[in-house]
Amino acid sequence: MLETPAKYLKEKSDLFEWYLTASATLEDIGRSDAYKRTQETLSQAGQVTSAAFTSMGSAIRSRFGEMR
């Protein structure tokens, strides 16, 4: 079924308007203080977790070395 050009353009226009609104909303979220604080907190948590796994790996490696 072929759509009329006007109907097609209207649907495309509505989709484009939705896209612009969604993009603006995501940009607003990215600039919000809450997002920035959450991002910093998660980054710090990731660094601490990484350090913990590194430490655990070193301890396991050391224990295996003692078992030889």
pTM of the model: 0.58
What tens digit of pLDDT does each residue of 24-35 get?
A: 999 999 999 999
pLDDT digit of tens for each residue in the chain (68 aa)? Answer: 566 778 877 888 889 999 999 999 999 999 999 999 999 999 999 999 999 999 999 999 999 888 87
Tokens of 21: 């609104």
The three-state secondary structure class of 47 is helix
Tokens 């603006």 locate to 24
The span from the CA of 23 to the CA of 31, in Å, is 12
Provide the pLDDT for residue 58.
Answer: 95
